[in-house]
Amino acid sequence: MNSIIEVSIVIPTFNRRSTLPRAIRSVLIQEGTVFEVIVVDDGSTDGTKELVHQDFPQVSYLWQENQGPSAARNRGIEKARGEWIAFLDSDDEWMKGKLAAQLNFFRENSDYRICQTEEIWIRNGRRVNPMKKHQKFSGWIFEKCLPLCIVSPSAVMMHRSLFEEAGLFDESLPACEDYDLWLRIAARFPIGLTGKAYVTKYGGHTDQRSREFPAMDRFRIASLKKILACGILHPEQTEKAQAMLEIKSKIFMEGARKRDSVIGTHE
Considering its fold, how many domains does the chain have in total? 1
Let me know the angle formed at the C-alpha of 109 by 107 and 113, rounded to the nearest 5 degrees.
Answer: 90
Q: How confident is the model at residue 232 (pLDDT cuts 50, 70, 90)?
A: very high
In a domain, 14, yes or no: yes
- In this prediction, residue 266 carries a pLDDT of 44
Alpha helices, DSSP H only, in the chain? 20-28, 48-55, 69-79, 98-108, 142-145, 161-166, 177-186, 209-212, 217-229, 235-265
Looking at residue 40, its amino acid is: V
- Render pLDDT for 132-152 as a digit per residue (tens, 0 to 9): 999 999 999 999 999 999 999
- Render pLDDT for 173-183 as a digit per residue (tens, 0 to 9): 999 999 999 99
In a domain, 62, yes or no: yes
In a domain, 189, yes or no: yes
In a domain, 13, yes or no: yes
- In this prediction, residue 11 carries a pLDDT of 98
Find the mean pLDDT for residues 39-67: 97
In a domain, 53, yes or no: yes
In a domain, 213, yes or no: no
- In this prediction, residue 259 carries a pLDDT of 62
In a domain, 101, yes or no: yes
- In this prediction, residue 267 carries a pLDDT of 47
In a domain, 256, yes or no: no
CB 87 within 8 A of CB 9: yes
By three-state DSSP, how is residue 4 classified? coil
User: Residue 134 pairs with which residues in a beta bridge?
Assistant: none
- In this prediction, residue 262 carries a pLDDT of 45
* pTM over the 0.85 mark: yes
The domain that holds 180 is classified in CATH as 3.90.550.10
**Which residues constitute the domain of residue 141?**
7-207
Confidence check: pLDDT of 196 > 50:
yes
Find the mean pLDDT for residues 61-65: 97
